[in-house]
Amino acid sequence: MTETDRFRVIFVCTGNICRSPMAEAVLRDIATAHGLGDRVLSSSAGTGDWHVGERADARTLDALTRRGYDGSQHRARQFTYDSFAENDLVIALDRTHERSLRQWARDESEEGKVSLLLSFDHSARELDVFDPYYADARTFDEVLSVIEGAVHALFRQLEPALRAAPLSGEAGRRRSV
Protein backbone atom coordinates (compact mmCIF):
# COMPACT_ATOMS: atom_id res chain seq x y z
CA MET A 1 0.00 0.00 0.00
CA THR A 2 1.44 3.37 -0.97
CA GLU A 3 1.36 6.48 1.19
CA THR A 4 -1.36 8.01 -0.98
CA ASP A 5 -3.56 4.93 -0.49
CA ARG A 6 -3.58 5.41 3.27
CA PHE A 7 -6.15 7.44 5.18
CA ARG A 8 -4.22 10.56 6.16
CA VAL A 9 -4.86 12.39 9.42
CA ILE A 10 -2.99 15.53 10.46
CA PHE A 11 -3.15 16.97 13.97
CA VAL A 12 -2.64 20.72 14.29
CA CYS A 13 -1.60 22.81 17.29
CA THR A 14 0.31 26.08 17.66
CA GLY A 15 4.00 25.26 17.21
CA ASN A 16 3.90 21.50 16.52
CA ILE A 17 6.14 20.62 19.46
CA CYS A 18 3.71 19.69 22.28
CA ARG A 19 0.12 18.60 21.68
CA SER A 20 -0.03 17.67 18.00
CA PRO A 21 3.08 15.43 18.11
CA MET A 22 1.48 13.61 21.04
CA ALA A 23 -1.72 13.00 19.07
CA GLU A 24 0.26 11.93 16.01
CA ALA A 25 2.21 9.33 18.01
CA VAL A 26 -0.88 8.05 19.84
CA LEU A 27 -2.89 7.50 16.62
CA ARG A 28 0.05 5.78 14.96
CA ASP A 29 0.40 3.45 17.96
CA ILE A 30 -3.31 2.67 18.23
CA ALA A 31 -3.61 1.92 14.50
CA THR A 32 -0.59 -0.38 14.65
CA ALA A 33 -1.90 -2.16 17.76
CA HIS A 34 -5.18 -2.86 15.91
CA GLY A 35 -3.39 -4.19 12.82
CA LEU A 36 -4.23 -1.10 10.78
CA GLY A 37 -0.92 0.76 10.89
CA ASP A 38 -0.53 0.33 7.14
CA ARG A 39 -3.96 1.89 6.54
CA VAL A 40 -3.42 5.20 8.41
CA LEU A 41 -0.83 7.92 7.99
CA SER A 42 -0.69 10.06 11.13
CA SER A 43 1.16 13.39 10.99
CA SER A 44 1.12 16.78 12.65
CA ALA A 45 1.82 20.46 12.02
CA GLY A 46 1.61 23.84 13.67
CA THR A 47 -0.31 26.96 12.75
CA GLY A 48 2.88 28.98 13.28
CA ASP A 49 6.44 28.62 12.05
CA TRP A 50 8.31 29.28 15.31
CA HIS A 51 9.67 25.75 15.70
CA VAL A 52 9.90 24.44 12.12
CA GLY A 53 12.58 21.75 11.90
CA GLU A 54 12.89 21.32 15.66
CA ARG A 55 12.28 18.16 17.63
CA ALA A 56 9.25 17.96 19.87
CA ASP A 57 9.61 19.66 23.25
CA ALA A 58 11.71 17.52 25.60
CA ARG A 59 8.77 17.28 28.01
CA THR A 60 6.59 15.97 25.18
CA LEU A 61 9.17 13.34 24.28
CA ASP A 62 9.55 12.36 27.94
CA ALA A 63 5.78 12.03 28.43
CA LEU A 64 5.48 9.94 25.26
CA THR A 65 8.37 7.70 26.30
CA ARG A 66 6.90 7.13 29.76
CA ARG A 67 3.72 5.80 28.07
CA GLY A 68 5.57 3.68 25.51
CA TYR A 69 5.17 5.94 22.45
CA ASP A 70 7.99 6.94 20.13
CA GLY A 71 8.21 10.60 19.19
CA SER A 72 11.93 10.62 18.45
CA GLN A 73 11.60 11.12 14.70
CA HIS A 74 9.29 14.12 14.96
CA ARG A 75 10.38 17.39 13.37
CA ALA A 76 8.07 20.38 13.60
CA ARG A 77 6.49 21.75 10.45
CA GLN A 78 3.92 24.36 9.60
CA PHE A 79 0.45 23.65 8.22
CA THR A 80 0.12 25.01 4.67
CA TYR A 81 -2.65 25.29 2.12
CA ASP A 82 -1.26 22.11 0.53
CA SER A 83 -1.85 20.30 3.81
CA PHE A 84 -5.57 20.28 3.06
CA ALA A 85 -5.03 18.37 -0.20
CA GLU A 86 -2.44 16.08 1.40
CA ASN A 87 -4.78 14.94 4.20
CA ASP A 88 -8.21 13.40 4.55
CA LEU A 89 -8.87 14.66 8.06
CA VAL A 90 -7.49 17.81 9.73
CA ILE A 91 -7.76 17.67 13.52
CA ALA A 92 -7.40 20.88 15.53
CA LEU A 93 -6.26 20.64 19.14
CA ASP A 94 -8.20 23.70 20.29
CA ARG A 95 -10.83 26.11 19.02
CA THR A 96 -8.25 28.75 18.10
CA HIS A 97 -6.61 26.29 15.71
CA GLU A 98 -9.99 25.18 14.44
CA ARG A 99 -10.97 28.79 13.61
CA SER A 100 -7.66 29.41 11.84
CA LEU A 101 -7.93 26.22 9.80
CA ARG A 102 -11.51 26.96 8.77
CA GLN A 103 -10.46 30.49 7.71
CA TRP A 104 -7.56 29.09 5.68
CA ALA A 105 -9.79 26.57 3.90
CA ARG A 106 -10.33 27.64 0.30
CA ASP A 107 -13.64 25.83 -0.18
CA GLU A 108 -16.30 23.80 1.60
CA SER A 109 -14.48 20.54 0.89
CA GLU A 110 -11.37 21.72 2.73
CA GLU A 111 -13.39 23.23 5.55
CA GLY A 112 -15.29 19.96 5.88
CA LYS A 113 -12.05 18.13 6.69
CA VAL A 114 -11.54 20.18 9.88
CA SER A 115 -12.63 18.74 13.22
CA LEU A 116 -11.82 19.49 16.84
CA LEU A 117 -10.05 16.60 18.59
CA LEU A 118 -12.08 16.69 21.78
CA SER A 119 -15.33 16.64 19.81
CA PHE A 120 -14.69 12.91 19.32
CA ASP A 121 -14.51 12.26 23.06
CA HIS A 122 -18.03 12.59 24.45
CA SER A 123 -16.72 12.33 28.02
CA ALA A 124 -14.49 15.41 27.59
CA ARG A 125 -15.48 18.35 29.76
CA GLU A 126 -13.67 20.90 27.61
CA LEU A 127 -13.37 21.46 23.88
CA ASP A 128 -9.76 22.64 23.98
CA VAL A 129 -6.72 20.52 24.75
CA PHE A 130 -4.76 22.63 27.24
CA ASP A 131 -1.40 23.92 25.94
CA PRO A 132 1.24 22.64 28.39
CA TYR A 133 4.12 24.68 26.91
CA TYR A 134 4.46 26.98 29.92
CA ALA A 135 3.71 24.25 32.46
CA ASP A 136 5.61 21.47 34.21
CA ALA A 137 6.27 17.87 33.20
CA ARG A 138 3.26 16.61 35.19
CA THR A 139 0.99 18.80 33.07
CA PHE A 140 2.43 17.22 29.90
CA ASP A 141 1.44 13.81 31.30
CA GLU A 142 -2.07 15.09 32.03
CA VAL A 143 -2.40 16.56 28.53
CA LEU A 144 -1.23 13.27 27.05
CA SER A 145 -3.97 11.47 29.00
CA VAL A 146 -6.60 13.80 27.53
CA ILE A 147 -5.19 13.30 24.04
CA GLU A 148 -5.11 9.52 24.46
CA GLY A 149 -8.78 9.43 25.37
CA ALA A 150 -9.79 11.60 22.43
CA VAL A 151 -7.60 9.77 19.91
CA HIS A 152 -9.01 6.44 21.06
CA ALA A 153 -12.50 7.85 20.48
CA LEU A 154 -11.45 9.14 17.05
CA PHE A 155 -10.00 5.75 16.16
CA ARG A 156 -13.22 3.98 17.17
CA GLN A 157 -15.01 6.12 14.58
CA LEU A 158 -12.39 5.54 11.89
CA GLU A 159 -11.86 1.82 12.46
CA PRO A 160 -14.94 0.44 10.64
CA ALA A 161 -14.09 2.36 7.46
CA LEU A 162 -10.43 1.39 7.73
CA ARG A 163 -11.37 -2.29 8.01
CA ALA A 164 -13.79 -2.07 5.07
CA ALA A 165 -12.84 -2.66 1.45
CA PRO A 166 -9.22 -1.80 0.63
CA LEU A 167 -8.44 1.85 0.12
CA SER A 168 -7.58 2.58 -3.45
CA GLY A 169 -6.52 5.98 -4.65
CA GLU A 170 -8.73 9.03 -4.45
CA ALA A 171 -12.05 7.18 -4.27
CA GLY A 172 -10.95 5.09 -1.30
CA ARG A 173 -9.59 8.04 0.62
CA ARG A 174 -12.68 10.11 0.10
CA ARG A 175 -15.26 7.71 1.46
CA SER A 176 -16.84 9.07 4.57
CA VAL A 177 -15.82 7.98 8.03
Is 120 in contact with 150 (CB distance < 8 Å)? yes
- As a whole number of angstroms, the distance between CA 50 and CA 130 comes to 19
Alpha carbon 92 to its chain centroid, in Å, reads 8
131 included as an active-site residue: yes
Q: Which of 6, 8, 18, 19 is catalytic?
A: 19
Q: Which of 5, 55, 62, 131 is catalytic?
A: 131
- As a whole number of angstroms, the distance between CA 154 and CA 104 comes to 23
49 included as an active-site residue: no
Q: Which of 6, 8, 13, 29 is catalytic?
A: 13
Whats the size of the chain, residue-wise?
177
Please provide residue 151's backbone torsions phi and psi, each rounded to the nearest 5 degrees: -70, -35
> Would you please indicate which residues are annotated as catalytic (active-site) residues?
13, 19, 131
